[in-house]
Copies of this chain bind each other. A is one copy, B any other.
């Protein structure tokens, strides 16, 4: 179980040991007491909370304390555009949408369109600009409230952001980024500076409002090093340290528990994939926890804990009863691997059909989300 894994904002690979990661990063588990509190305040628990997909946090208790005192927080999350949106990207955004709805709060959605340009040799700013537009459609399609959601694009909104990033940058040395991200002297100076830009949305709304507003960042656990580095700095320059609520990665189709990679086409399903592509990818690539023969499967049962189709249903089939039945039937051998895949394919295609229709409508809505 002590396999090698890497989790940095730019590289997630190997069999991620989440328990060890919690210790290394210094992030806390969302325990049953905290879950109860969220349920009380939100009126319900999102399946991602019940299923421990969102499983760790920083200062979430404080965010709820303030909220209950009437001091609302704002949400901050983001997407570094470098390709089309896949299902793994949707996970934190779906959850963010739920938070916005249940708590009635503002969301600042950052598009750091320079990040992947700086970290990937072959990506141009023209590329990231195009993907920014594409990714925006997926975000709008999830149903965020345009009156309460602002898109912050680093290169376009630099007149608001660069000055604030400088305040953060002045308090972070090269030694600091070296130890946080494992950078060497050969990295470019843009990528060294970048973490300061990622810190900005955590306090920019406070700057613009002229008052201190708590910030909650829902994000996948690989982004924690950025905020670990900037939390103290944001505190030092006079704003609340941002709190966070963090999720696991949707497993890649091939079944590592690492993050899906947008660069390896066959490991991910994209929001723009059509029904046939979804069917083909799942049938061909989804790692199966079934047995070698039908006979053996009936006798020994499937292994949902390593079966990607089941893992994905754990993310996307919100109906607890349905999911439980699938688990039991698969575990008992009643449900075959191909049948399980069929359940997933139908679920995803239904979900994507709805998403793609909303995505089409989103094309006329982008303007409402931009900062003028």
Contacts and interface: CB of A to CB of B under 8 A. Distances in A.
Interface of A: 114, 117-118, 125, 154-159, 161-163, 165-167, 169-178, 183-190, 192-193, 195-196
A171 B188 contact: yes
A125 B163 contact: yes
A174 B187 contact: yes
Contacts of A177: 189
A174 B154 contact: no
Contacts of A176: 189
Identical subunits present: 2
Contacts of A154: 162
Contacts of A171: 188
Nearest to A121: B170
Given A173-B186, A173-B188, A174-B174, 5 more contacts: A114-B162, A118-B166, A172-B188, A174-B184, A176-B189
Contacts of A187: 173-174
Contacts of A175: 185-186
Given A159-B159, A163-B125, A169 B196 contact: no
A17 to B, nearest CB: 30
A208 to B, nearest CB: 15
A74 B157 CA distance: 28
16 contacts: A117-B166, A117-B170, A118-B166, A125-B167, A155-B163, A156-B159, A159-B159, A166-B190, A170-B188, A174-B174, A174-B184, A174-B189, A174-B192, A175-B185, A177-B189, A189-B195
A162 B162 contact: yes
A190 B197 CA distance: 11
A189 B178 CA distance: 11
A32 B193 CA distance: 45
Contacts of A174: 174, 183-189, 192
A106 B148 CA distance: 44
Closest 4 CB pairs of A and B: A169-B190, A193-B193, A158-B162, A158-B158
Contacts of A170: 117-118, 188, 190
A267 B276 CA distance: 78
A195 B158 CA distance: 17
Given A158-B163, A159-B158, A190 B185 contact: no
Nearest to A159: B159
A198 to B, nearest CB: 12
A372 to B, nearest CB: 12
Contact of A159 (B157, B172, B178): B157
Contacts of A188: 169-174
A12 to B, nearest CB: 23
Contact of A192 (B157, B159, B163, B193): B193
A173 B172 CA distance: 17
A189 B159 CA distance: 19
Given A155-B162, A158-B159, A159-B157, A190 B189 contact: no
Nearest to A195: B189
A193 B173 contact: no
Contacts of A117: 166, 170
B118 A169 contact: yes
Contact of A196 (B155, B166, B189): B189
Contacts of A196: 189-190
Nearest to A114: B166
A184 B185 CA distance: 11
Contacts of A118: 166, 169-170
